[in-house]
Amino acid sequence: LVRGLEGLINLPCITPDNHRVSLWVNTGLMTDVVRSLDHGAEGIGLFRTEVPFLLSERFPSEQEQAAIYREQLQAFAPKLVTMRTLDVGGDKALPYFPIEEANPFLGWRGIRVTLDHPEIFIAQARAMIRASEGLNNLQIMLPMVSNLQEVTGATQIIKRALRELQEEGLDVCMPPIGVMIEVPAAVYLTRHLCQMVDFVSVGSNDLTQYLLAVDRNNSRVADLYSAFHPAVLHALKYIVEQAHAEGKPVSICGEMAGDPGAALLLMAMGFDVLSMNASTLLKVKAVIRSVTMSTARELLEDVMQMSDAQSVRSSVDLALYNAG
């Protein structure tokens, strides 16, 4: 725990002028879940299911997956747990499922892989839904979506998994489905996507990488990688406006949500949920509890006029400094 912030664990995440912001967490392992509950998280906004797959020597069976998923769902119940379907490819390769490509970040990644391998997808969807029996706090989220057909295909598989389990006698129901907005194409499909699903969540790590054409893991171009780039900020603001116009909640689960300064901008844009690593949650809560929404909105209005990431960062840092 961050020293001095323990007292915030049970206090609400609310601005001095009474605006509530939900702080959720990103998880991979059970240790993250325990830490998250210790920090007062209100839900899991991103469970990276590839983490247990990466630690295994072969594809985990449906039974094995269900046991892992059940632990997370049970620990957080009745709070919501957002499970992302397998997101391999790009920089994440399973040793027992090698993918060799010249350009992996533009290749076979995320939903593209699982739609091409429905047997992997259906086993995972069945495991998730099976694990939610009696708890009903599961949400399923789809990574790397770039067109509507992928959402239709994935939803059909999830519905099939549900039907099969119900026919087998399980008392399970259809989980809310969400899409990650992390590819520029998806930004401009936000309204259409919102008409098909229950929620959207911005993956700002990949969205920044793809909008700026900067590899998120390449130190040589690390100076060019910034979620404070005006192009990223305008995309984020647009996504929130479009999702809310369709009456759908929008969250953000990239690293940016755990940066206290960025969190102020995201709160001012109207994000319903900020999902972050547990280690940053109390710092973000401390800042939100000390800055009014009207101050955050003024800051946002200022930075949306700026033309480079450095100026945005400086303004945000100054606002944090003024907030103490």
Interacting residue with ligand PEP among 203, 210, 211, 319 (CB under 6 A): 203
Could you give the C-alpha distances from 323 to 242, 246, 277, 281, 287, in angstroms and in order? 31, 34, 23, 17, 8
- CB–CB of 151/108 below 8 Å? no
Q: Which of 13, 41, 46, 243: binder of ligand PEP (CB under 6 A)?
A: 46
Binding mask 79-98 for ligand PEP (x = CB under 6 A): --------x-----------
C-alpha to C-alpha distance for 70 and 61, rounded to whole angstroms: 14
| Span near ligand PEP by CB under 6 A; candidates 71-79, 129-137, 201-209, 316-324 | 201-209
User: Is 253 or 269 the residue whose CB approaches ligand PEP more closely?
Assistant: 253
Single-letter residue type at 128: M
Query: By CB under 6 A, is residue 139 in contact with ligand PEP?
Result: no
Contact string 140-179 vs Mg ion (x = CB under 5 A) = ----------------------------------------
Q: Which parts of 117-187 fold into alpha helices (H)?
A: 118-131, 148-167, 184-187
Q: Does 205 bind ligand PEP (CB under 6 A)?
A: yes
Binding mask 183-212 for Mg ion (x = CB under 5 A): --------------------x--x------
DSSP string, 13-31: -B-TT--B-EEEEEESSHH
Alpha helical stretches, state H, the chain: 30-38, 50-54, 62-76, 111-116, 118-131, 148-167, 184-187, 190-196, 204-212, 230-245, 260-269, 278-288, 293-303, 309-323
Smallest separation, CB 110 to ligand PEP (Å)? 8
277 binds, among Mg ion, ligand PEP, none (CB under 5 to 8 A by kind): none
> Restricting to residues 250-289, which ones interact with ligand PEP according to CB under 6 A?
253-254
CB 212 within 8 A of CB 229: yes
- Helix 293-303 × helix 260-269 angle, to 10°: 90
Residue 42 or 182 having the CB closest to Mg ion: 182
| List of residues contacting ligand PEP (CB under 6 A) | 46, 48, 87, 182, 203-206, 253-254
| List of residues contacting Mg ion (CB under 5 A) | 182, 203, 206
